[in-house]
Structure 1
C-alpha cells in the first residue's frame, strides 16, 4: 500500500488544491508547431545537435492533443532546431502495437508506457534508455515515480497520478438520498435504489476498458495480500483461490441483478461514458482520468469518486486505488536521444506540468504544481485515503493480465465464476511453465 499520509503531504507540498486524471483513450495523429516557455534545459547535453532535428512523440492520450500542441509550440520556440511530431492511438491499440512501432527507432523517440505488463515487455525488448543520471528527475515527487524503475535504474517517468475509482453523479445521489456505502450490502442496496427509480446504477464498458478498470476496486479488499497477483504469476497462489472466485461472483451478482446496463459486454468506453454524461447512469466504472472530459461534455455534472467495498466495513483494508501512469521514456533506438531528453526536461518544469494538468484535468507527479481546475479538487478527498496501487498493473505478463480480465467477461457472458477462474488459471499455468 502506498503511504497515503506521505501522499497527502506530497500533494499538499506540491500546492495541491486538487486531483483528477488517466488512462484512457483517444486517437489521431498530430504534429506540434513552435513557441517558447522557460529557460532551456539546465542539463542539456553538449551533444544536442545545432542542425534541425525532428523527434517523434508517441502516446495514447488523444484527448490531450490540444494541450500538448500548445506545450510543443512553446518547446519549439525555445528550441528552434528541434521539431516535435506527435502521434496518438487508442489505449487498447497502444498496448498491443506500440512495441512493434518502437522497435526500429523510426517512431517514438519519446514514448509513453503503461506500468505493469507493458513496461515489463518494453524493458525486456531493451527499448528504454536509462534516465537515472538526468538532473531534471529532481523535479518529480520521487515516491510517485518508483513504478518507472527497474533494477535500480529510472527507465521511465510517470507523468500522471490517477485514482482508478468509479465516478458518481453527486446530484443523482442527493436526489435519492444516497451516500457512498461502506460495505458490500450497502453497495447492493444503493444499486437497487437507483434501479428502482429508473436509473442505471453502473455504466460499464465491458467491451474494452471496463474489466481492467473495475477489477481493481472490486478485488482490492478481497486480496489476501498486496502481492497476490505476483504470487499467482510465480505459481505460489491460484486464480481459483477464494479471493478471485469471490471477485468474479460479485461481478456476476451485479450483472444478474441488473445493476449494469443491458448488453454491458457489448458496450465500449465512449458509449458507457455517454450514459453517465447524459445522466442515465449514476456511476461510471472508470477513474478520475475521465472527470474533466465528462464535465466538458456536461457542464452541469457534479462528480466525485467512490469505490465499492466488497467486504464488511470492519474488514475493509483500502478505500480506493491509485496509479502513477503515463510513463514518459526515451527510445533506446532513437537517433536523437539528447533532443528527446531535452523534451522530457521541458515537460518536467512545474509551469509546463501545471499547464498540462489544468488543461487536461490530470494530476501530475511533478513537484510544486499549482492546480486551478475545478475537477482537480477531487484530490483533496483522496490524497489522505488508504489507497492501493492498481492490482492489474502488478500482473507483469500480458497473457496473464488478459486471462484475468477475460475471466470477468466470461462471467458476464454466463460462465460460472469457478469455471471462468479455472480457464484463467490454465493460461497462467502455461506461462509459469515457460
Structure 2
C-alpha cells in the first residue's frame, strides 16, 4: 500500500510538455483551505466551442510512476485528440492530509486517487466521489480486489494496485547464513539474532514516517482476535488496551530492545531505511512489495523476496501475510468533464495498458489477465496463492484513530511501556467513538 513520503517537489505534468522526470517527485505547493463540499450536478462535459481540446487533471501520489504514466497518457491523447491530461503528484503523506481540500471545488483532480481506509471514508463523507457502478470498464478488474472501493453498495473508486505489505528480505544474505523465513515468533527472533551476531542489521525500519504504519500490519495480523478488530475498537466494542495490541506493542519493544532494528530507528525516515537494505547492510526492509522495483533499480545485484513475521506459534498462525488494494482511481464529483475522466480510467483499465504500467513501475495491478515480465512482479504474484489478510491499518476509518495507533508504536520505541502507550492511544479512540 506506499504510502510513501517523498522529499521532492510538486509536479504539474502535461505530457505534451514533460520530458523524462526523476523518480522521487512530489509537491511543495501548499494546500487549499477550502472546505470539502458534497456532490452536486456537474455541467455537461463538452469540448470547448473554440475547438480546443478539453483538459482534465489527474492527481495522485505516485511521483515515481510519472515516466510510465507520461507514455500511457501520450497513447491516450493520440487515441483521443480532443482530450489532454495534466498530471500532478505529491508525496503520499502530504497527499493524505491535503488532497481533499484540493479536490473540493473540482479545479484539480478530474481523475484522482485515494488510499483505502481513513482517506476513502473522509472523501466519501465529503461527497467527492462519483458513482462508477454502471461503467462497463469495471468488468476489466478482478471483482474481489476492487470491493474496498465500494461505499453503500456503490463502486465509487477502483483500486488499481495490488500490494503485499510484507517485509522484503535479501535472499543472498539469508542463503549466506543458512536462514529461511521462520514459521513462528521464536524462529523470527532466532533469525534476527543470527543476523545481528554476523554484523548485519536484521530489520531496517523507517520509524520516523512510514515504518509504523507498514510493519504494524504483519505484526498484528495473527495477534488480533478477528479481522474486524479495529472496526470493533472504533465502535467501542474492543480496546487498544486489550491483549492483542498490548502483545503487538510488546513485540515491537522486544525487537527494538534486542537491537534487531537499526540504531535510532525512531529517527530513521523511509529513504534512509531503504538505503540500508539496498546497500545490503540490513537483511530485511520493513516495507512492502511496492518497494521491490525501486530497490532493484538502485542495486541490480539484489535478489529479493517477501516474508512476514509470524508473531505466534506456528499452529496458531491464521495468516501468512498482508495485502492491500490501493491507488484507487476515482472521478471527482465536481469535475466539469466527467465523461472524459471516465474515458481515461477506462483506458487505464485495458489489460495491455495496465500491463505496461505494471511492468514499467514494478506494481502489481487489479486488472485481469495482465502479463507480468519482471522478477520483482513475479515475487509478489507468488503470494496470490497464500492466505493473506487485507491491511489492518486501512480497516481504521478515522484518520485520528489511525494516527493514534501508529503513534503508540513510536511511543514504545521511544521507551514508553506498551501498557501506557496503548492507554494513551485508547484515550484518543474514546474521543472518536462511532455513535
Q: TM-score, normalized by length of structure 1? A: 0.91
Structure 1, residues 257-285: CA drift from partner, whole Å, max 9, x if none? 01000111111101100000000000000
CA RMSD, Structure 1 to Structure 2 (Å): 1.4
CA distance in 1, matches of 2:78, 2:387: 43
Structure 1, residues 191-242: CA drift from partner, whole Å, max 9, x if none? 0100111100000000110000000000000000010000000000000000
CA distance in 1, matches of 2:231, 2:45: 41
Counterpart in the other structure of 1:41: none
Deviation of 1:47 after TM superposition, in Å, equals: 5.2
Counterpart in the other structure of 1:49: 47
Counterpart in the other structure of 1:16: none
Deviation of 1:294 after TM superposition, in Å, equals: 0.2
Residues 55, 83 of structure 1: 8 Å contact kept:
yes
| Structure 1 residue 33 corresponds to structure 2 residue 33 | no
Structure 1 counterpart SS, 2:432: helix
Counterpart in the other structure of 1:131: 132
Structure 1, residues 36-61: CA drift from partner, whole Å, max 9, x if none? xxxxxxxxxx9553641111111000
CA distance in 1, matches of 2:108, 2:345: 16
Structure having greater relative contact order (Cα 8 Å, sep ≥ 6): 1
CA distance in 2, matches of 1:24, 1:352: 24
Deviation of 1:371 after TM superposition, in Å, equals: 1.0
Residues 22, 160 of structure 1: 8 Å contact kept:
no
Counterpart in the other structure of 2:37: none
Deviation of 1:381 after TM superposition, in Å, equals: 2.7
Counterpart in the other structure of 2:41: none
CA distance in 2, matches of 1:32, 1:71: 12
Specify whether residues 399 and 47 from structure 1 end up closer, same or farther in structure 2 by C-alpha distance, changes over 3 A only: closer
| Structure 1 residue 347 corresponds to structure 2 residue 359 | no
Residues 160, 325 of structure 1: 8 Å contact kept:
yes
CA distance in 2, matches of 1:139, 1:48: 26
CA distance in 2, matches of 1:363, 1:22: 13
Residues 45, 336 of structure 2: 8 Å contact kept:
no
Structure 1 counterpart SS, 2:241: coil
Deviation of 1:82 after TM superposition, in Å, equals: 1.0
Structure 2 gaps of 5+ residues are: 18-43
Counterpart in the other structure of 1:9: none
Structure 1 counterpart SS, 2:333: coil
Deviation of 1:336 after TM superposition, in Å, equals: 1.0
Residues 24, 289 of structure 1: 8 Å contact kept:
no
Q: TM-score, normalized by length of structure 2? A: 0.91
Deviation of 1:80 after TM superposition, in Å, equals: 1.2
Counterpart in the other structure of 2:4: 24
Structure 1, residues 72-130: CA drift from partner, whole Å, max 9, x if none? 11111111111111111111111111111111111111100000000000000000000
Counterpart in the other structure of 1:86: 87
CA distance in 2, matches of 1:250, 1:349: 44
Structure 1 counterpart SS, 2:15: coil
Structure 1 gaps of 5+ residues are: 1-20, 36-45
Counterpart in the other structure of 1:310: 311
Residues 23, 326 of structure 1: 8 Å contact kept:
no
